[in-house]
């Protein structure tokens, strides 16, 4: 089997924690040929979606971990699977890439997650489709609505709809200090829509990442626990990752969403859950494979490649 990874530059990978790297290692162990390319390598030429794609050889060295063959200009349909693993920002270039990938699908490529499904599931807004699992939430660019929401709930979180890694998240407490400034900053003076949620105190116990693979639930979550007075548990913001078994509520949320999201073309999903509340549905490049595997011995990458094999055979 030939697997092509659409990803960020390989030289940027932190191999000790990168989930895409874990996928590559597992695929390589099974004897599959692995390749890599970036969004800037793609083109639509003479009606075909092609890319400059390089085969990867894994070295086993944690520093100089790969060797790249000379790139070849190949149609994406030449591969058994194309894995979309490009990190946000989810900007217009990201969207253009999904359009090209969708065209490639029409030409025979098998792309995971499906590009239309990625495009249709904003990682913040998608929780509104499962409101039975969410804390009180407001999506708006209107300052007055935000102020009314704050008056009702007193302690709130404000965040952009296109952020990642905890960037741009603010907490405003009962006194409302700096609320106006935060609203102006995040909405760019009323020109950008944001999300506002009631603060969930259980964040002190961690922002749990729950992985859904092939419509099934990984049995462990990674609780990302805020450190040093932070309100954000994201690993990128300095959170401490602690793998743990799923609670009954975690399972309820995950088992409800897993088959539905898989049917929509999402092979891999990362749910974010704080306390009893679903806060995000991550579909672009969900992570935390290695942390769960290292702490609990559960081969997340193995489960993923199993699911990929099943999807390809279907």
Among 18, 85, 232, 234, the active-site one is: 232
Q: Which of 113, 234, 277, 282 is catalytic?
A: 282
Q: How many CB atoms are located within 10 Å of the residue 169 CB?
A: 18
Respond yes or no: is residue 124 known to be catalytic: yes
Work out the pLDDT band at 233, boundaries 50, 70, 90.
confident
Is 277 catalytic? The answer is no
Catalytic: 272?
yes
Q: What is the pLDDT of residue 163?
A: 80
The reported pLDDT for the residue numbered 27 is 98
Is pLDDT at 17 greater than 80 in this prediction?
Answer: yes
173 labelled catalytic:
no
Strand partners, 203: none
Nearest CA-CA partner of 223 in 231, 235, 212: 235
184 part of the active site = no
**Catalytic annotation present for 30:** no
**pLDDT at 125 exceeding the cut of 80:** yes
| Per-residue pLDDT reduced to its tens digit, 81-110 | 999 999 988 999 999 999 999 999 999 999
Question: Of 209, 234, 250, 291, which residue is the catalytic one?
Answer: 209
Which is catalytic among the residues 110, 114, 208, 224? 224
pLDDT computed for residue 43 by the predictor: 98
Residues in contact with 35: Cβ distance below 8 Å, sequence separation at least 6, in sequence order: 2, 3, 4, 5, 53, 54, 55, 56, 79
From the candidates 26, 123, 162, 272, give the one annotated as an active-site residue.
272
């Amino acid at each position: 089997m030939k697997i092509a990874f659409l990803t960020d530059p390989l030289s940027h990978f932190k191999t000790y924690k990168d989930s895409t790297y874990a996928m590559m290692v597992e695929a390589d162990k099974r004897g599959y040929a692995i390749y890599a390319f970036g969004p800037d390598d793609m083109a639509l030429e003479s009606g075909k979606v092609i890319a400059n794609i390089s085969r990867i050889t894994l070295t086993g060295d944690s520093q100089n971990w790969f060797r790249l063959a000379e790139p070849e200009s190949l149609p994406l349909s030449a591969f058994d699977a194309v894995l979309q693993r490009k990190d946000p920002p989810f900007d217009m270039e990201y969207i253009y890439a999904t359009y090209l990938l969708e065209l490639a699908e029409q030409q025979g490529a098998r792309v995971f997650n499906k590009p239309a499904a990625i495009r249709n599931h904003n990682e913040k807004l998608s929780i509104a489709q499962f409101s039975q699992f969410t804390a009180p939430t407001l999506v708006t660019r209107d300052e007055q609505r935000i102020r009314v929401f704050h008056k009702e709930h007193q302690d709130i979180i404000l965040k952009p709809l296109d952020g990642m890694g905890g960037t741009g998240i603010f907490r405003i407490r009962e006194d409302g200090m700096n609320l106006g400034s935060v609203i102006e900053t995040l909405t760019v003076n009323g020109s950008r829509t944001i999300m506002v949620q009631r603060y969930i105190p259980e964040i002190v116990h961690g922002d749990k990442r729950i992985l859904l693979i092939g419509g099934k639930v990984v049995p462990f979550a990674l609780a990302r626990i805020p450190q040093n007075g932070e309100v954000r548990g994201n690993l990128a913001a300095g959170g401490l990752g602690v793998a743990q078994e799923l609670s009954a509520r975690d399972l309820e949320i995950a088992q409800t969403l897993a088959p539905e999201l898989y049917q929509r073309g999402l092979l891999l999903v990362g749910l974010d859950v704080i306390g009893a509340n679903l806060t995000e549905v991550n579909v672009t490049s969900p992570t935390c494979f290695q942390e769960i595997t290292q702490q609990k011995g559960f081969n997340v990458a193995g489960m993923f490649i199993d699911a990929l094999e099943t999807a390809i055979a279907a």
